[in-house]
A and B are shown apart, each in its own frame.
Chain A
Amino acid sequence: DAKTTQPNSMESNEEEPVHLPCNHSTISGTDYIHWYRQLPSQGPEYVIHGLTSNVNNRMASLAIAEDRKSSTLILHRATLRDAAVYYCILGGTSYGKLTFGQGTILTVHP
């Protein structure tokens, strides 16, 4: 499986934007970039995914570098509820396991 690298932790203030980076220099041409998050004591939650173009949904935006070797998850206005571990995962759209790394622990300050 292609490997992703994320910072161990990041901090933000409430109402401010948050940019969570992910490096994936060995990404293959067919790998999608998926983001999940896990709130304390809960199961992971799908956030967003994309292949080449930037993507937006109600939760977040995903900015993908032109060479696809890195991407950034953008939370436009962080809330306390966004405090979670964020995982960047590579995979295809075929079915199969998700390989979770250590993720980024996001702390949001009031």
Chain B
Amino acid sequence: NAGVMQNPRHLVRRRGQEARLRCSPMKGHSHVYWYRQLPEEGLKFMVYLQKENIIDESGMPKERFSAEFPKEGPSILRIQQVVRGDSAAYFCASSDSVGGNIQYFGAGTRLSVL
């Protein structure tokens, strides 16, 4: 059973460009979470989605950031007009409907903004 897959593993963007980060949850998992880890800082929750619905976006910056988890396909975290401060590791996690809140994490996407 494949784990949580994130791609790309590394992403380089210039200021002002768009970044799209993809996350395929574990098979059978319908809950997806995105977290961000800034350099030398802890992991911070961003958003929690179930299929086609955003459940909790309390950690998401109000501007330039959006997330979706369509009925078919991976979850996407989209950052528009990236700035240097967006450089971080972005982790996706998934959980199923019976395992409680045990979250399984991907290896992350490391975004570098030049």
Contact = CB atoms under 8 A, between A and B. Distances in A.
Contact of A102 (B42, B55, B59, B106): B42
B32 to A, nearest CB: 10
Contacts, number: 62
Contact of B48 (A32, A38, A96): A96
Contacts of A99: 45
Given A44-B91, A91-B101, A92-B101, A97 B45 contact: yes
Contacts of A97: 33, 45, 48, 56, 58-59
Main secondary structure of the interface of A (DSSP, over half): loop
B101 A95 contact: yes
B86 to A, nearest CB: 19
Contacts of A100: 35, 42-44
* Max chain B Cβ within 10 angstroms of own Cβ: one of A49, A95, A99, A101: A95
A94 B74 CA distance: 23
Nearest to A46: B102
Interface of A: 32, 34, 38, 42-46, 49, 87, 91-103
Given A42-B107, A98-B103, A103-B42, 7 more contacts: A34-B102, A44-B43, A44-B91, A94-B101, A95-B95, A98-B45, A101-B42
